[in-house]
Amino acid sequence: MLLRLEPRGEASRAMIWLTPVLSILLTLTFGAILFAALGFDPLRALAAYFIRPVSTLYGLGELALKATPLAMIGVGLALGFRANVWNIGAEGQFTMGAICGGGVALIFHDTEGFWVLPLMALAGIAGGMAYGAIPALLRTRFNANEILTSLMLTYVATLFLSYLVHGPWRDPKGLNFPETRMFNASAQLPGLLDGTRFNLGAIVALLVVAAGWLLLARGFIGYQIKVVGQAPKAAAFAGFDQNRIVWFSFLVGGGLAGLAGLIEVAGAIGQLHPRISPGYGFTAIIVAFLGRLHPVGILAAALMIALSYLGGEAAQIEMRLPLAITGVFQGVLLFFLLGTDVLIRYRVRFGRPATSRGG
């Protein structure tokens, strides 16, 4: 074999920061070849992808809007993933948060008040937490695999939302469309920048990232999470209760997903309808890992993924790139981002290994 991977003794610090750069360069190169082969001008296509979306203030607002739920959910999930608690059901917790928070908005649709929004936020958090509590209970009481339970509960949540907006919560003046009435002004997040959809949610997301960082870097519970994840036997030795960590992960992860759901419906959308999420809960899993389960990394990854979505749309509109091609390109980006990770632990060597002769 001419090319082989050799394990490094210790993970390379430099590579942890270099691989994202490397992967972006590889993606650009590969993307240019892909677009050229399909007969599009590669430079224009790449510009449409990466530069056009963020060249206007409005575009930046959209970027923040899309990155907000990804970062919030991603930070919550990362806490669990660090402890080997696999909450795959953030999409469901997001939906439940949106339902509960949105429900509060609908109850008070004819009441104005500064307290409506905080109450909605609490309801959204509580909804996500309660929905996260189900897999936590099943795992700690019956040892049921949380990957399966949390994933399956997602479909229950989205169908429940669908039932609500098709039935009891349907807007009476909504021409039978499956959606609720628009929330009133005091139940919507205030915009922070004229001419954009940038709202308070982005600030909340930044606070969540900061809190997540503090918890993991300095918090005793964050320490326990890391020990449970890296060395479960050491956690047992120290007397860190694994079940408590499972509960904590699901409650925090669910609560943040629920809050993200509430922010989405109270901010960008302003009502409930069956497609409030383009898969934020699932994409956030990728975001969490791209960000190396580190809150600051997750923020960067959320922005990156949000940009690739916006860029995909822009390229479709501007260059008439087929939808499938934008999907392929996003796949390539992820492939290189995750694939180059191997360089952190391995180095590439050319030539034959020295030890496999003989015999």
Residue 88: φ, ψ to 5° = -100, 0
Q: What is the DSSP annotation of 341-355?
A: THHHHEEEEES--TT
Residue 223 in the binding site for other proteins (CB under 8 A): yes
Residue 57 interacts with other proteins (CB under 8 A)? no
* 34-42, 234-242, 256-264, 299-307 -> range binding other proteins (CB under 8 A): 234-242
Interface with other proteins includes 236 (CB under 8 A)?
A: yes
How far, in Å, CA of 261 to CA of 267, rounded?
Answer: 10
- Stretch binding other proteins (CB under 8 A), from 184-192, 252-260, 264-272, 350-358: 350-358
Instruction: Confirm or reject binding of residue 313 to other proteins (CB under 8 A).
Output: no
In the complex with other proteins, the residue whose CB is nearer, 18 or 221, is: 221
Residue 251 CB, nearest approach to other proteins (Å): 16
| 256, 128 Cβ separation under 8 angstroms | yes
Q: Does 237 bind other proteins (CB under 8 A)?
A: yes
Query: Residue 204, interface with other proteins (CB under 8 A)?
Result: no
Phi, then psi, of 225 in degrees rounded to 5: -60, -45
Number of residues located near other proteins, criterion CB under 8 A: 26
How far is 148 from 135, CA to CA, in rounded Å? 9
Nearer to other proteins, 4 or 197 (CB): 4
Q: Which of residues 238-257 bind other proteins (CB under 8 A)?
A: 238-241
For residue 96, which amino acid is it? Answer: M
Pick the piece of the chain touching other proteins (CB under 8 A) from 26-34, 118-126, 132-140, 236-244: 236-244
CA 2 to chain CA centroid, Å, is: 39
Report how far apart, in Å, the C-alpha atoms of 15 and of each of 4, 25, 196, 298, 314 are: 18, 14, 37, 17, 32
The closest of 344, 250, 332 to 292, measured between CA atoms, is: 344
Q: How far is the CB of 173 from other proteins (least distance, A)?
A: 50
Q: Quick one: 128 exposed, middle or buried, by C-beta within 10 A (0-12, 13-18, 19+)?
A: buried
Centre a 10 Å sphere on the Cβ of residue 105 and count the other Cβ atoms it contains: 27
Report the residue from 141, 173, 320, 357 that binds other proteins according to the rule CB under 8 A.
357
Does residue 143 bind other proteins (CB under 8 A)?
A: no
Give the range of 104-112, 301-309, 334-342, 348-356 binding other proteins by CB under 8 A: 348-356
- Among 59, 174, 219, 274, which residue interacts with other proteins (rule: CB under 8 A)? 219
Residues of the shown chain interacting with other proteins in the complex, contacts defined by CB under 8 A: 9-10, 214, 218-221, 223, 226-227, 230-231, 233-234, 236-241, 354-359
